[in-house]
Amino acid sequence: MFTAETVIFVAVTYVLMIVAFFMSRYRTFHIALMSSLVVVDFLFPIYLYLNKEWWRRLVEQGELLSFMVWMHLLLVITLYVLYVVQISAARGILRDRDGARGEHKTQAKGILIIKGLVLLSGAFLVEPDSSV
């Protein structure tokens, strides 16, 4: 289900997210990059569903009840919830709402932490190459 390539892809998106965090003063660049990364993160599970052998791994091999699988899933859901809240805070910044900028920055730090944990838990779920 998870391969080294998928973990590398998520790691690249994580690095780009860190870049966007530090480049927030360039508003157009920051908004474009973060919007793209959020869309990619929302579409990534669909890619995994369509292109990976999730049925074999989760059902046939019995990993569906694995603690690590459930932890990873809950971290991904937490990340998505934070994205929705973050978008609301970003809209507040664009509307010049008081306190929105501080709220947005604090949530961004939480997103970076959770995305790092998603990356780490996904790395633990990488299936060893059985062809070697």
Give me the DSSP letters along 16-73: HHHHHHHTTTSHHHHHHHHHHHHHHHHHHHHHHHHHS-HHIIIIIS-GGG-HHHHHHH
**pTM for this prediction:** 0.87
Does 120 score more than 70 pLDDT?
yes
pLDDT 10s digits, 47-85: 988 887 777 777 777 777 788 889 999 999 999 999 999
Residue 83 lies inside a defined structural domain of this protein: yes
Residue 130 lies in a domain: no
- Domain membership of residue 117 as a residue range: 4-124
Tokens coding 105:
């920055």
Contacts of 24 by beta carbon, 8 Å cutoff, 6+ apart? 30, 105, 108
Cα-based torsion angle of the residue sequence 79, 82, 88, 91 in order, rounded to the nearest 10 degrees = -60
Find out whether 24 and 69 touch, Cβ atoms under 8 Å. no
User: Is 53 inside a domain boundary?
Assistant: yes
